[in-house]
Amino acid sequence: MLDLLIYTGLGLGAGFLTGLSPGLHPNTVIAMLLPVAVTMPLDIVLPLLIGMVVTHSMINHIPAILLGAPDSDSVLAALPGKQLLLDGKAHLAIIHGLNGGLIAMIVAIGLLIIGLFGLEKLYTAWEPYIPYGLSLILVVLVLRGRIGPNSIAVCLTGILGVGTLMMDSISQTFLLFPLLTGLFGASTLIATLQTNPAPDQQIIEETSITHEQARGGGIGALTGMVAGLLPGLGPSATLALLSPLFGSDRDEFMASLGGINTADTVFSLVAIYLIGRARSGAAVAVQQLTAITDQLIIQLAGLCFIVVPTSYLIAMRLVPVILRVYTTIPPKTMIKTVLITLTVFIGVTCGIPGLGVYALATAVGMTADTVGARKSLCMSCLIVPVILFGLGVSL
């Protein structure tokens, strides 16, 4: 039992590192560690793995709010989070996300129980229609906003995604790293360099869960279940599709962002049991490490239910400290350091071809921002290849 707590704690620490580091996704860390992990005992690897990915999902909205530097899962947090930051309410925005994540975990338990009884049959019936469903979703997302800019974003990122997935000069392990980092991380960070320093931030004392946060977390849990089971869609695109559910309530929307990321992480793990598909880097790792059994799913669910409240309580304590650190370090210095680190890391792991993809993806991401397209539509880099593959087009 003590070993379980120690390794889960180490995973929590790794999750805070990845969650608070713009552009650093746990999938990257998993890909790097997997060759070593397969040689380690399962009772060590699983707590480390679950601790990291679940904690990351709870707090990855923080860089999106403080630096305007989201990853592919937290991209929608950047705009409302930035507005709250400029209003001196970044602490409140972060609390919305944390409370939404906690509520989503509770709701996900009920959804998981329901899913165990009927989700597999439902998915089997729906599977042949997935490419058509994704196509319809993509059209709806394009039409919901400025059609011209949105169409440009879909075309550019779709072509970029297909071209990247066809490359054999970059290891499959790291193939998506320069693509997603350029589209969502570097492009947003570069744009953020032009912004003025944020005002002093208010530290709020009342952190109890409100009705708006509870509703947002519940909707986020339902949306996260869809994102966790459908290939290529991702949390941001799914939430963008369901955004009319929120009306103009900013608090509810921010809570939903924390909820969808947490629920998506949980259901992507469960998907390997329910439908036999790995929907995340963590799920792929679990699939390669061990056979998927009823006992394993119960163990994974148990670890999730331990990690979420623990990471929630730690984050609640750490957020004021993080805000103080943020206000003492010039944002431009921090952003430049992150950009240099990401570029070096991509160069080391992916070589010259990876740097080429990274540069092109950054340019495409900046183009999408410049023309005013929905940033979530940059997920077309994965959605378009999934649609083509589902229609029988070999890449």
**Which is more confident, 10 or 122?**
10
**Which is more confident, 370 or 198?**
370
329 in a domain, yes or no?
Answer: yes
Distance CA 61, CA 257 (A): 8
Position 163 scores a pLDDT of 92
> Containing domain of residue 287, as a range?
2-390
Strand blocks (E) in 118-223:
none
Average pLDDT estimate for 224-244: 65
77 in a domain, yes or no?
Answer: yes
304 in a domain, yes or no?
Answer: yes
Range in 66-70, 325-329, 382-386 the model is least confident about: 66-70
On whether the CB atoms of residues 228 and 201 are closer than 8 A, the answer is no
395 in a domain, yes or no?
Answer: no
On whether the CB atoms of residues 165 and 175 are closer than 8 A, the answer is yes
**Which is more confident, 94 or 252?**
94
Could you tell me how many helices (H) and strands (E) the chain has, helices first?
17, 0
Position 360 scores a pLDDT of 95
**Which is more confident, 266 or 285?**
266
**Which is more confident, 232 or 192?**
192
220 in a domain, yes or no?
Answer: yes
Answer whether residue 15 shows pLDDT above 60: yes
Return the top range by mean pLDDT from 65-74, 89-98, 119-128.
89-98
- Tokens for 385? 């290849």
| Of 127, 126, 379, 35, nearest in space to 241 by CA | 379
82 in a domain, yes or no?
Answer: yes
Distance CA 136, CA 304 (A): 33
Global pTM value = 0.75
Domain count, the chain: 1
- Tokens for 302? 């148990």
pLDDT in tens, 108-148: 877 776 666 666 676 677 778 888 888 888 888 888 778 99
Distance CA 80, CA 243 (A): 13
Longest dimension (CA), the chain: 57
pLDDT in tens, 377-391: 887 888 888 888 888
